[in-house]
Chains A and B, each alone.
Chain A
């Protein structure tokens, strides 16, 4: 049974006066959604509920109400944790004294089409934003969490990478001006909004102080509450909703005029990489995505049953065949037939010249894959087979590293996803790769496992930990998961960012009231801080990794 604290009646009364009686609850039934241990992106333990339940959940309706809630929490020595849609366990309280701030009522969404941006609140979801943007010939970046996630949360507080980053950048760079309730409950507007000039730019006057509170990753609720942002949008040569095709759950989109949608494969990673550098030339593609064939199989089938049946019967389409793993799904968007002809001609020529070939795609599959890429519905769907998923790597460096990343992915999975292994059966590696802005590589190695099985959880944890060991032994680009405790191990060798982050946290939030488990550790005794980097070889030794995997597989993380 979890540890629970009752909120004092007068405190509840204060909160009620701020948000209204309808918008506060202390009932376990209402709180349960904020203690649900989904394990998405992490490895859960055996228990579905986290050991920590909040004392209350409130639904503020404005920035001022958020600020008042924060100040109320501080007055009464309570903690708070804000979330938007609360994907996975992001909505969870991190201490038993926590008031969860559910931002659902703050869903403002305003499109500034001429300036290709939107002004959004925390609960404007990506699917709705994309729909509104498309009315004006624009689209938005949608991260892996898919259309039901909050772009504001992604842009301010989490990672922000998504499968269309080639054409839609990433959310740390799509964040324009911002409004923030500090951990002390003050309202700060950064960039143009702070000067009353609009929501279009986030830096200045003078230094870009946003960089102190949102780096490659945000503070995940550990540093106050973001309540409104300007958000960059991306023009597409389509105005209005795209034409749907197919039937649930295999919804597709008709591929628009002057759009190209191809799936190309190469015989080896070297030729794949050679082609990649050329495909990145001159922004030929709006989106480029490499998916492992089994995950493509999960997408072109309507159910797990359909997928497994087709695997057994050998009837999966070519795109989902394991041998076609050195692949790119390529989406081009052009404004005129001549531009389209140039893009398609060049893409075809590059594929041929580099030894690749373009696979035949049935319309039905092409439309489903197109929709999943354009809307980023792909990623939530990757949870379909087992419901358990974690990830590894990140890379964020030259495509030079692509072959090595694939090797490292195999090392990390260590055959666990091959028949007889403890992970969900798939390929030797399970990398999702894509470029950012025609520049660098993002690739993450997805670890799918059965969260209901302890051996599977242990295997997943082991793969995750091995990824750190592999990355530190011979870095495969920037480590995307260098967060929290990981940075305590690594930070000293890369400029000690954790020291600054800790200072930011402690100065802005000395009582750690804005509490998150996914931000910097607020307190690390000096001795520990000194010893940890030295202990890295021990921590990364096989017996310790095994032990940690067992602990995580049992207790969760």
Chain B
């Protein structure tokens, strides 16, 4: 059985941190204001809050130099697990340090040692109880679909995975329903998991609850496989990330089911000529920035079930045993959302930090629930980046990012969920519509 590496497994990787600080900064900054890669150290300031700082703390925990403490837990809990440090580190160190894997292992260590922060424990309890971390009743999970042409679960070619963020966010339902309706109109046979839709396990893994993550992942995969669907389309960036980069750590996969994010799926249909996108008058002539969500972006880069060990060759060169599986952040879901926006006639501008180096908005990794001021600072930092661009509209394809950024956007930046825009613009292609 595959298991994610433990902190002990990561000992040599931890030891190789040279404390170069590259993990704190994006590879190619365009300004000082937006040079940071790490919301955690932006909040905590102490080096221990950075990716590298956590590696050092983790090593100290292993070798007995650093006992558990509230400050350690606080620093670990301030990390959004966004993976930007990993991307930056690899500019210099490629396969030899790989901070993110160690950050996951550190969180798992805190859990196994009984030092998981209380909010994390509460989130996990809610997840156990009701299938979502915020404790919404399971019975309400499928309200979004009330009255739609399909009325719940069943066998169909395409399985829709909604994710708890959207499933319990009534404000997002009109867009969700509109998109689903359009898909119906072009003849897509769809189903969904209804109130029984499970968690991807991604959040549990982020919080360090490895066994729970495995169980949740297994359950969801079984649910999906039982539908007989050939394609799973998720509306959740976090779930996509879990499917592509967390499940493989357990040796789990959806097997023959193809897994796509809704943006990938819709763009595929557009390219196939089954859907078209109408220009959105409200956005004409207004530059729009796209926020690469960590989960949809670098954290959705597919991961294999590979051995992540290194061999020592040429008298000290540390070489990945599975080089083809090395991840540098390039393989995330970056292009489909952009392509959809362009197809809507949107004038897209890139923020200073984009694609694999995108700055986390602070919503993920349990930070919002545990260290809300850190999450708020990250959001403000990200929004400041928009204000320093030519755009005043920021679009995200991640429900979590959208709602979190919207909370802090004020009047200077207009926050838009991509799904909402798609709901307005999607049309059956003329031939099909006719």
Q: Is the CB of B316 within 8 A of A448?
A: yes
Tell me, rounded to whole Å, the shortest Cβ–Cβ distance linking B391 to chain A: 17
Residues of A within 8 A of B56 (CB): 32-33, 36
Q: Is the CB of A1 within 8 A of B65?
A: yes
Q: Is B57 an interface residue (CB 8 A)?
A: yes
CA distance A131 to B329 in the complex (A): 23
CA distance A473 to B356 in the complex (A): 52
Tell me, rounded to whole Å, the shortest Cβ–Cβ distance linking B59 to chain A: 6
Q: Is A2 an interface residue (CB 8 A)?
A: yes
CA distance A469 to B263 in the complex (A): 65
Q: Is the CB of B316 within 8 A of A303?
A: no
Q: Is the CB of B45 within 8 A of A452?
A: no
Asked whether A456 and B356 contact (CB < 8 A) given A59-B45, A132-B31, A244-B28, the answer is: no
Q: Is B47 an interface residue (CB 8 A)?
A: yes
0 or 1 for each of B43-76: is its CB under 8 Å from A? (1 = yes): 0011110001100110110011111011110010
Tell me, rounded to whole Å, the shortest Cβ–Cβ distance linking B179 to chain A: 31
Q: In residues 301-327 of chain B, which contact A (Cβ within 8 Å)?
A: 310, 312-320, 323, 326
Q: Is the CB of B45 within 8 A of A105?
A: yes
Q: Is the CB of A304 within 8 A of B316?
A: no
Q: Is the CB of A306 within 8 A of B21?
A: no
CA distance A27 to B60 in the complex (A): 12
Q: Is B258 an interface residue (CB 8 A)?
A: no
Q: Is the CB of A303 within 8 A of B95?
A: yes
Q: Is the CB of A248 within 8 A of B330?
A: yes
Q: Is the CB of B17 within 8 A of A132?
A: no
0 or 1 for each of A1-30: is its CB under 8 Å from B? (1 = yes): 110000000000000000000110101111
Q: Is the CB of A36 within 8 A of B93?
A: no
Interface residue SS majority, chain B = mixed
Q: Is the CB of A27 within 8 A of B69?
A: yes
Residues of B within 8 A of A88 (CB): 18-20
Q: Is the CB of B69 within 8 A of A424?
A: no
The residue of chain B having its C-beta at the shortest distance from the C-beta of A371 within the complex is B28
Residues of B within 8 A of A59 (CB): 45-46
Tell me, rounded to whole Å, the shortest Cβ–Cβ distance linking A389 to chain B: 9
Q: Is B405 an interface residue (CB 8 A)?
A: no
Residues of B within 8 A of A420 (CB): 315
Tell me, rounded to whole Å, the shortest Cβ–Cβ distance linking A41 to chain B: 10
Residues of A within 8 A of B46 (CB): 25, 30, 33, 57, 59, 102
How many residues of A are counted as interface, with CB atoms below 8 angstroms from the partner's CB atoms? 84
Q: Is the CB of A304 within 8 A of B319?
A: yes
Q: Is the CB of A32 within 8 A of B313?
A: no
The residue of chain B having its C-beta at the shortest distance from the C-beta of A105 within the complex is B45
Which of A144-152, A403-411, A521-529 forms contacts with chain B?
A144-152
Q: Is the CB of B91 within 8 A of A377?
A: yes
**Which of B32, B47, B329 has a CB less than 8 Å from the CB of A102?**
B47
Q: Is B25 an interface residue (CB 8 A)?
A: yes
- Name 20 extra pairs, CB < 8 A, besides A40-B19, A305-B323: A27-B69, A27-B70, A32-B57, A33-B46, A49-B63, A85-B24, A87-B18, A127-B28, A128-B31, A128-B32, A248-B91, A248-B329, A249-B94, A251-B28, A305-B320, A381-B92, A419-B314, A449-B316, A450-B316, A452-B12
- What are 19 A-B pairs with beta-carbon distances under 8 A? A30-B47, A30-B71, A87-B18, A102-B46, A131-B35, A147-B22, A148-B20, A148-B25, A241-B28, A247-B330, A303-B320, A303-B323, A304-B319, A305-B95, A305-B326, A380-B18, A380-B22, A385-B316, A386-B318
By Cβ-Cβ distance, the 6 closest A-B pairs, closest first, are: A450-B316, A305-B323, A29-B72, A128-B32, A425-B314, A33-B47
